[in-house]
Amino acid sequence: MISYAWLIPLFPVVGVLINGFLGKRLGEKSGFIATLMAGLSLLVVLLIANEMIFGAGGKHTIHLWEWIHAGSFSVSLSFLIDPLSTIMLLVVSGVGFLVHLYSIGYMHGDPGFPRFFTYLNLFMLSMFLLVLGDNYLVMFVGWEGVGLCSYLLIGFWYEKKSASDAGKKAFIVNRIGDAGFLLGMFLIWVIADTLTYQEVSQVTSKFAVTINVLGIETTYASIIGLLLFIGAIGKSAQIPLYVWLPDAMEGPTPVSALIHAATMVTAGVYMVARTSPIYVEAALAMEVIAVVGALTAIFAASIGLVQNDIKRVLAYSTVSQLGFMFMALGVGAFTAGVFHLMTHAFFKGLLFLGSGSVIHALHHAPVEQQQDMRYMGGLKSKMPVTYWTFLIGAIAIAGVPPFAGFWSKDEILANAFFSGHTFVWAVGSIAALMTAFYMFRLIFMTFHGEMRVDPHAREHIHESPFSMTTPLILLAVLSVFGGIIPGFPPEKGWIHDFLAPSLAKVSQVTHHSSFNLISSAHAASADSGGHHGPEAIYLIVLAIVIAVGGIILAWSMYGKKSNIPDQIQQKFPGLYKILLNKYYVDELYQRYIVEPIYRLMKFLWNFDAKVVDGAVNGSTLVTVLTSRVSSFFDLRTVDGAVNGVANFVRFFSQVFKFLQSGMVQNYLLAMLLGVFLMLSAYLLQ
Amino acid sequence: MIPLSHFLTLGAVLFLIGAAGVLMRRNVIIILLSIELMLNAVNVTLIGFSRQWADLSGQVFAIFVIAVAACEAAVGLAILISLNRDKTVMNVDEVNLLKW
């Protein structure tokens, strides 16, 4: 079955072609076609995963064709099926199929219905290419493809200015990251002479060469790692390029669930995990990743504390959770990072689809109130399925055992702690507390308390249709069992054995002997699994305390009637304002990046208009003037000479021309006279 | 016996009549006829001298001239006809394509 892996991206291609060309005629039938194609892909993925998990496993390359061949440079379109891509395929096709199913209900009645499903299938195709490719170039094609689909789907309701602006923002911010990815890829090629993962992993010694850049002793691996990480920062919304993700919530909610929570934004995590053979040689890059991840986790979580838009809370939560994943990668716990990627796809997909269900129910409310939690409340009894599934998702992300999020998040924090990254661990723990708090703030504001919905919209509130609740229930099941089954017991679970062939291990020597920013020197071994004695138990207990504590805190502030939030707001007005305005990062970017670029553009525009155009116009003027002179010279002197000769000839021929009268008789007369004269002269001599 | 001077006078008179016709008339046909007249004036002179000196070469010359005159008449009439087709003119003054 594994050799049929090419079928996985083929089905979405068929869907794209059918819906792209016949979508208008098919109307809402296009949704079923797209969902069918996603389902067929899922089926193939399940069959392959069955073979990989319960069968032989191993790594399989499916070579389709030689794509580029120029000199020593050669890239083929081939797919790699190994444990890592199997996990990614399961997540992408599983969540993707459920989101397709959900969208049939959610997008019902939208004029762009076929277009939506065309884009959605195109996204599936690109994402499959991204995770299936066996080399960086194929990954990059998928990488750009999902970026394009993200842009198209964020700006899906393009007639809304904010949506089309958000689409452009996402696209442009991602370009910055892509530049880093490209440079990293070039460097890999230059050093390793290959772009395939497997060949790269065989020549890691080439990457470990120490070089001196600007006075810092480092390795090629670190430079490549940092460049690739810039790509990951863009795609996976880390500091400082996370700004596009919250705005991406302008897209339809299923898109937010699929692309901006479960799959596309985790592409950066996948890429770093895929490049783990290089990263283990890149101590500097790893430290940077860990710190950036930790800072992003707490930064985004703190913004999420005070947001009122239900989708924005989830968006900042996504940014924060992606930070957790990078934290794991940075401390060398690649398995934990991929594990969290998987569980996060389940519960964050669930939470987004749940919020979509809420928004769907409120679509009779005024537009600006549909997503605002201050105008919700008390929806629990009206929408029981949505409520219970949402609650499961919230518990999972908060990290309460035995739900999915606990297992992966706990592994990340434990790995950070035991690898000596105490700072990262502390920041991550605080971010985890915030996570539990803002999620349950969201639950209490949306589903509990008195109803604050616009009176006209109240009677329209209803549970979502079957096609929408089914994915919720399935994802809720995954959010419950998706962590404990592969992840128990902690750090020794099945997923560690399964992923081991795909991910490199950090050897402590390379990791700690060289440039080290934060970690303490007396580091214990990372990712070595469960031998940490009582400390590990303390950590687990602490994690549970943090999760439950966050929930209780949220309940005491928002669950029961209280004025604590208002009091805090009044006590720290500055802090509240900063958080509500997202640390003014957008404004800072606007002020210090966008506007200077804009001014530079204005300057260049003026330079172009005045200097370049001036030079062009000036040279035109000079040419015109010199051509005037030369045309004068030509007309008067050259033509004058020619005409002068002609006039001279004409003048002197004036007299003689009359001899040629054209009348034969004149000539004859002249001839006769001549003869007469000659004869006369002869005779008279 | 007719003296030679009569032949020569007749030839000279005929030649002058022909030359005057060629120079003064404008009709192409008349001009051609005048040319014939000039040629025949020359023939009369040739025959006169042939008889005077009892030498037949003058008569042979005259027959050559008649043959050439016939050719000339054929070519001349052919030009005349094509001229007439082209310009429907008979007047030589209007045939001045070779003028400056």
Distance CA B17, CA A82 (A): 126
| A69 DSSP β-pair partners | A74
The whole-angstrom distance between A650's CA and the closest CA on chain B is: 12
The whole-angstrom distance between A654's CA and the closest CA on chain B is: 11
* Amino acid, single-letter form, for residue A381: S
Phi, psi dihedrals of residue A63, rounded to the nearest 5°: -85, 120
Residue A365 scores a pLDDT above 50: yes
DSSP codes of every residue in A185-235: HHHHHHHHS--BHHHHHHTHHHHT-EEEETTEEEEHHHHHHHHHHHHHHHH
B91 to chain A: closest CA residue: A663
Cα A221 → chain centroid: 24
- Which of the given ranges, A53-62, A162-171, A487-496, has the highest pLDDT on average? A162-171
Contact between A33 and A26 (Cβ < 8 Å): yes
Residue of B15, B22, B42, B80 to mutate when probing chain A, most A C-beta within 10 A? B22
The whole-angstrom distance between A642's CA and the closest CA on chain B is: 21
- Which of the given ranges, A211-215, A604-608, B63-67, has the highest pLDDT on average? B63-67
Please state the ipTM of this predicted complex.
Answer: 0.73
Categorize the per-residue pLDDT at A122 as very low, low, confident or very high, splitting at 50, 70 and 90: very high
On chain A, the residues whose CB falls within 8 A of the CB of B93 are 663
Residue A628 contacts B where some CB pair is shorter than 8 Å: no
* Residues in Cβ contact with A109 at an 8 Å cutoff, skipping those fewer than 6 apart: none
Which pLDDT score is estimated for A511? 42
Contact between A425 and A417 (Cβ < 8 Å): yes
CA atoms within 13 A on the CB side of A311: 26
| A196 DSSP β-pair partners | A135
Distance CA A619, CA A498 (A): 71
Residue A492 contacts B where some CB pair is shorter than 8 Å: no
Residue A671 contacts B where some CB pair is shorter than 8 Å: no
Residue A521 scores a pLDDT above 70: no
Q: Which residue has better confidence, A682 or A458?
A: A682
* Amino acid, single-letter form, for residue B35: I
Residue A401 scores a pLDDT above 90: no
The whole-angstrom distance between B99's CA and the closest CA on chain A is: 4
Please tell me whether the overall predicted TM-score, pTM, comes out greater than 0.80 for this model: no
Contact between A317 and A348 (Cβ < 8 Å): yes
Residue with tokens 């992606």: A322
At A78-108, the pLDDT tens digits run 999 999 999 999 999 999 999 999 999 899 8
Residue B73 scores a pLDDT above 50: yes
Q: Which residue has better confidence, A522 or B82?
A: B82
Classify residue A377 by its DSSP letter. -
The whole-angstrom distance between B72's CA and the closest CA on chain A is: 16
Distance CA B2, CA B9 (A): 12
Residue A530 scores a pLDDT above 50: no
Q: How far apart are the first and last CA of chain A?
A: 132
Residue A528 scores a pLDDT above 60: no
Nearest to A660 among B24, B93, B100 (CB): B100
> Of the candidates A452, A480, A513, which has an alpha carbon nearest to the alpha carbon of residue A217?
A513
On chain A, the residues whose CB falls within 8 A of the CB of B24 are 665
Across chain A, mean pLDDT equals 87
Residue A603 scores a pLDDT above 60: yes
Q: Is A80 strand, coil or helix?
A: strand
Nearest to A663 among B19, B22, B92 (CB): B92
Share of chain A above pLDDT 70, in %: 96
Residue of B24, B25, B96 to mutate when probing chain A, most A C-beta within 10 A? B96
Which pLDDT score is estimated for A522? 36
Nearest to A657 among B92, B93, B100 (CB): B100
On chain A, the residues whose CB falls within 8 A of the CB of B99 are 660-662
Residue A157: both structure tokens together: 């309701």
**For chains A and B, what is the number of CB pairs under 8 angstroms?**
25
Share of chain A above pLDDT 90, in %: 50
Q: Which residue has better confidence, B2 or A15?
A: A15
CB contact under 8 A, B97 and A662: yes
Residue with tokens 């605002």: A372
Q: Which of A305-309, A524-528, A643-647 has the lowest mean pLDDT?
A: A524-528
> Of the candidates A128, A117, A134, which has an alpha carbon nearest to the alpha carbon of residue A264?
A128
Cis status of the peptide bond prior to A254, with omega within 30 of 0:
no
DSSP codes of every residue in B80-94: HHHHHHHH---BGGG
Q: Is A446 strand, coil or helix?
A: helix
CB contact under 8 A, A668 and B92: no
Distance CA A262, CA A653 (A): 100
Residue A665: both structure tokens together: 């008789």
The number of beta carbons lying within 10 Å of the beta carbon of residue A668 is 14
Residue A660 contacts B where some CB pair is shorter than 8 Å: yes
Nearest to A668 among B22, B93, B99 (CB): B22
> Of the candidates A238, A358, A270, A256, which has an alpha carbon nearest to the alpha carbon of residue A312?
A256
Categorize the per-residue pLDDT at A658 as very low, low, confident or very high, splitting at 50, 70 and 90: confident
C-alpha distances out from residue A392 to A169, A326, A337, A347, Å? 33, 25, 22, 8
Which pLDDT score is estimated for A523? 41
Contact between A398 and A547 (Cβ < 8 Å): yes
A672 to chain B: closest CA residue: B19
Mean pLDDT of B51-62: 92
Nearest to A661 among B24, B97, B99 (CB): B99
At A160-207, the pLDDT tens digits run 999 999 999 999 999 999 999 999 999 999 988 889 998 888 888 888
| A73 DSSP β-pair partners | A70
On chain B, the residues whose CB falls within 8 A of the CB of A661 are 96, 99
At A255-286, the pLDDT tens digits run 999 988 889 999 999 999 999 999 988 888 99
Residue A474 scores a pLDDT above 50: yes
Distance CA A6, CA A22 (A): 24
Residue A510 scores a pLDDT above 60: no
Q: Alpha-carbon dihedral of residues A214, A218, A223, A226, nearest 10 degrees?
A: -100
Largest Cα span, chain B: 55
The whole-angstrom distance between B98's CA and the closest CA on chain A is: 5
> Of the candidates A361, A427, A348, which has an alpha carbon nearest to the alpha carbon of residue A390?
A348
CB contact under 8 A, A672 and B100: no
On chain B, the residues whose CB falls within 8 A of the CB of A665 are 22-24, 92
Q: Which of A110-119, A490-499, A601-610 has the lowest mean pLDDT?
A: A490-499
Q: Can you count the helices (H) and strands (E) in chain A? A: 31, 4
Residue A514 scores a pLDDT above 60: no
Categorize the per-residue pLDDT at A520 as very low, low, confident or very high, splitting at 50, 70 and 90: very low
Which pLDDT score is estimated for A517? 40
Residue A516 scores a pLDDT above 70: no
On chain A, the residues whose CB falls within 8 A of the CB of B19 are 672
> Of the candidates A508, A289, A516, A486, which has an alpha carbon nearest to the alpha carbon of residue A402?
A486
Categorize the per-residue pLDDT at A525 as very low, low, confident or very high, splitting at 50, 70 and 90: very low
DSSP codes of every residue in B13-62: HHHHHHHHHHHH--BHHHHHHHHHHHHHHHHHHHHHHHHHHT-THHHHHH
Phi, psi dihedrals of residue A216, rounded to the nearest 5°: -105, 125
Residue A346 scores a pLDDT above 60: yes
Nearest to A664 among B19, B24, B92 (CB): B92
Write out A485-515 in H/E/C secondary structure. Answer: HHHCCCCCCHHHHHHCCCCCCCCHHHHHHCC
| A60 DSSP β-pair partners | A81
Residue A664 contacts B where some CB pair is shorter than 8 Å: yes
Residue of A655, A665, A666 to mutate when probing chain B, most B C-beta within 10 A? A665
